[in-house]
Structure 1
Amino acid sequence: MAARFFLSIFLMLLLGRGTEGLRHRRHHLPKRLFVFGDSYADTGNIWKGLASCWKSPYGSTFPGKPAGRFSDGRVITDFVATYLGVPSPVPYRLRRLAGDRRRYGINFAYGGTGVFDTIYPLPNMTTQIDFLEEEIKAGTYRPRQLRSSMALISLAGDDYVSYLNFHNGTVAGLRSFVRSVVDQIEVDLQRLIRLGVGRIGVLGLGPAGCVPIMTQNTSYSSCMEAFNQDAAYHNALLHKAINVINAHPSRPSRIAVFDMFDTLQALVHRHNKLRQGIEGTLRPCCIGTAAGSSCGDTDGNGKPLYKVCDDPGKAVFWDGNHPTQATWTTIFQSFRPTLQHLFS
């Protein structure tokens, strides 16, 4: 019990949520958090047996065992929830068991999903918003509660993976597809506004060409700059679309982009003053040791087909796609001023 208390105090201080800050800002902050998106935001929706996040060594830093998060510990959802002073929202698939916790919001994010359909039967962004609308129609949330809520959105990375790998997409045609993805995000944002959500934060893409699955062919020695440029293009279009929405004179909601591109790129190139012990390498902490294996895989006898670095806190990436808890900490710190401005 004492250890849990001191951990809570530490996280409050880490995220700038000391007692004085709470007293001055509590009345401005949303009372609940709704989360939409993919594995960067999922905290337990993806089914056991379908993804590695339910296997060891995932969750080794927090909560000490696999818990459905695609990292060694906390993901961006957890950091935003702590900043707001609410529990990390209950995963949608567990909502019936959540009881009173639903008053703090729901996490609709599923690892592997996208703005459009990616992997069947994962719910895309439109379907995830359908889930929220069903909760509203059922009376779980009233209009006043929605106005004092925040939506966190983390999407699009899996759309581009799906486009290139499963839908016969070409690198040359990727820019056109980026425009269609951002256009649909704008449609989804407008829908959340109509539902009455008061504040919305959209996580931009990181440097896609630097994730380990993209750099493994170079022995984790260099990023694929072409894909970084496409990610930057996505972010530019996203900023433009959101600026247009925010400029509308009758906008009932406020939206912000949470940039992570520059921070993550600086980490892998070891240029960030906020590294706090992160060594900055493209090599993931947890990596497969057999052909075709990845973090969390085992053989028929349960023997691990992966190895884990000595200290995840020094690694940028946890596995082939996802940041470590340490990296999420740094990313959150980088856009915390934007989050503060969203509620000013």
Structure 2
Amino acid sequence: MEAIFFHCMILLLGVSVEGFHHRHHHHDKLPKSLFVFGDSNVDTGNTQGSSWSFPYGVTFPGKPSGRLSDGRVLTDFLAAYLGIPSPVPYRERRTAGSRDRYGMNFAYSGAGVFSTYSAGLPNITTQIDYFERLLRQGTYSRQQLYMSMALLSVGGNDYAAYLLKNGLHFQALRGFIKLVVKQIAEDLNRLRVMGLGKIAVTGLEEVGCLPVVTVLTNRTSCFQPFNEDAAYHNRLLRNAVNAINARPGPSSSAALVVLPLYDAFHLILSGHTKLGSRFENPLQQCCVGVNGSECGSIEQHVKPSYTLCEDPSKAFFWDRVHLSQAGWAAVFQFLQPTLQRFLS
């Protein structure tokens, strides 16, 4: 039962990005706004929960801000790369003012392409429905969409929820992976037909290396069966994206790319690159719940029931399933060449 619980936790696969402040010289050609869909790897404040409790946000912005990290997440790094502010969370749309011109973030922590943990959690289809509603209201013009980029981060929560419900039946899981990728492809094509100029979708990271899983090996090694399933998901996703890119589409037909999170994790965690050299024990999380608690828990409203590492900037993982800001910074550095080719 405990093992199944660990796998369920994988589903919370939200990632965070460290403040990446590099703006490229060809920024005039870069998308002018960013629309974000997905899970906790990219959520910047739509979801109520532990992301609004200390010590989340301790590095940036210095207080909890709805990000499941000590600081910035993937959305923040990509926005900084594009030279725009991080897009406003959907739940703040009524008070966004002119900030919505830089796009909007529809992502919810825990979300998947299908229903995951709770009935009220907007899955990707629902998130895109929210976006479509704004388009019908005339919030964004067709020309702006063509000059925009979409980021989709999804998959982990679907698999965590599936394993929680069905146990560790890896053969059956392969069939479910096909269904998940098929739905992701439908979501991507829907965004493409809406007229978005560029669409990036994250591949799955090395989910067998998440602290929620490596607790089984005392943080000494990754659980390879999960990594093999993640690699299988990524192969199917790349094939699906290639097929969409090969299709004739609308006049503003989008180019799509898969962001190789798996390769970034592998290089950083294996220590084969200077990107990983800053992390003393990359499989160890920084914020650790005590006595079965989660990071950010408070015991009887008084005493924190978690411990923090001395320096979050030396930790790759922040909590049991999410990256630290430094972790995201290293990952994003690896993703940059892919983005540069895609956007040039």
Long gaps (5+) in structure 2: 1-17
Matching residue's letter, 1:244: A
Structure 1 counterpart of 2:196: 197
Is the partner of 2:200 in helix, strand or coil? strand
Matching residue's letter, 2:258: V
Residues 202-260 of structure 1: CA deviation (Å, up to 9, x unaligned)? 11111111101111122212211000000011111111111111122446110001101
Structure 2 counterpart of 1:323: 323
Structure 2 counterpart of 1:274: 275
Structure 2 contact 79–86 (Cα < 8 Å) conserved: yes
Is the partner of 1:173 in helix, strand or coil? helix
Structure 1 counterpart of 2:4: none
Alpha-carbon shift at residue 282 of structure 1 (Å): 1.2
Is the partner of 2:31 in helix, strand or coil? coil
Q: 1:62 aligns with which of 53, 60, 63?
A: 60
Structure 2 contact 269–276 (Cα < 8 Å) conserved: no
Instruction: Give distance in 2, aligned partners of 1:176 and 1:297.
Output: 37
**Aligned 1:1-40 pairs, distance under 5 A:** 15-17=21-23, 21-22=24-25, 25-40=26-41
Is the partner of 2:46 in helix, strand or coil? coil
Matching residue's letter, 2:229: D
Is the partner of 1:73 in helix, strand or coil? coil
Is the partner of 2:121 in helix, strand or coil? coil
Instruction: Give distance in 2, aligned partners of 1:144 and 1:91.
Output: 22
Instruction: Give distance in 1, aligned partners of 2:277 and 2:75.
Output: 21
TM-score by length of 1: 0.91
Alpha-carbon shift at residue 279 of structure 1 (Å): 2.0
Instruction: Give distance in 2, aligned partners of 1:83 and 1:170.
Output: 40
Is the partner of 1:223 in helix, strand or coil? coil
Alpha-carbon shift at residue 267 of structure 1 (Å): 2.2
Structure 1 contact 212–282 (Cα < 8 Å) conserved: yes
- Of structures 1 and 2, the one with the larger relative CO (CA 8 A, separation 6+) is 2
Instruction: Give distance in 2, aligned partners of 1:287 and 1:175.
Output: 32
Structure 2 contact 50–296 (Cα < 8 Å) conserved: yes
Instruction: Give distance in 2, aligned partners of 1:250 and 1:289.
Output: 53
Alpha-carbon shift at residue 167 of structure 1 (Å): 5.1
Alpha-carbon shift at residue 184 of structure 1 (Å): 0.4
Structure 1 counterpart of 2:184: 185
Long gaps (5+) in structure 1: 1-9
Alpha-carbon shift at residue 137 of structure 1 (Å): 0.2
Alpha-carbon shift at residue 108 of structure 1 (Å): 0.3
Is the partner of 1:34 in helix, strand or coil? strand
Percent identical among aligned pairs is: 51
Matching residue's letter, 2:78: V
Structure 1 counterpart of 2:225: 226
Structure 2 counterpart of 1:239: 238
Structure 2 counterpart of 1:94: 92
Q: Does 1:41 align with 2:42?
A: yes
Instruction: Give distance in 1, aligned partners of 2:42 and 2:167.
Output: 27
Q: Does 1:130 align with 2:141?
A: no
CA RMSD of aligned residues (A): 1.6
Residues 4-27 of structure 1: CA deviation (Å, up to 9, x unaligned)? xxxxxx96xx6542xxx44xx132
Q: 1:109 aligns with which of 107, 110, 116?
A: 107
Instruction: Give distance in 2, aligned partners of 1:173 and 1:275.
Output: 35
Alpha-carbon shift at residue 313 of structure 1 (Å): 1.0
Is the partner of 2:245 in helix, strand or coil? helix
Alpha-carbon shift at residue 172 of structure 1 (Å): 2.2
Matching residue's letter, 2:98: D
Instruction: Give distance in 1, aligned partners of 2:206 and 2:169.
Output: 19
Is the partner of 1:232 in helix, strand or coil? helix
Alpha-carbon shift at residue 338 of structure 1 (Å): 1.2
- Higher mean C-alpha displacement, 277-286 vs 218-227: 277-286
Structure 2 counterpart of 1:157: 156
Structure 1 counterpart of 2:6: none
Instruction: Give distance in 1, aligned partners of 2:255 and 2:76.
Output: 21
Alpha-carbon shift at residue 169 of structure 1 (Å): 6.9
Matching residue's letter, 1:100: S
Residues 110-143 of structure 1: CA deviation (Å, up to 9, x unaligned)? 0000011112211000000000000000010111
Alpha-carbon shift at residue 266 of structure 1 (Å): 2.5
Structure 2 counterpart of 1:3: none
Matching residue's letter, 1:270: G
Is the partner of 1:153 in helix, strand or coil? strand
Is the partner of 1:316 in helix, strand or coil? coil
Structure 1 contact 112–118 (Cα < 8 Å) conserved: yes
Is the partner of 1:101 in helix, strand or coil? helix
Is the partner of 1:172 in helix, strand or coil? helix
Distance 1:98 1:341, change over 3 A: same
Matching residue's letter, 1:77: T
Structure 2 counterpart of 1:337: 337
Distance 1:160 1:235, change over 3 A: same
Structure 1 contact 61–72 (Cα < 8 Å) conserved: yes
TM-score by length of 2: 0.91
Alpha-carbon shift at residue 335 of structure 1 (Å): 1.1
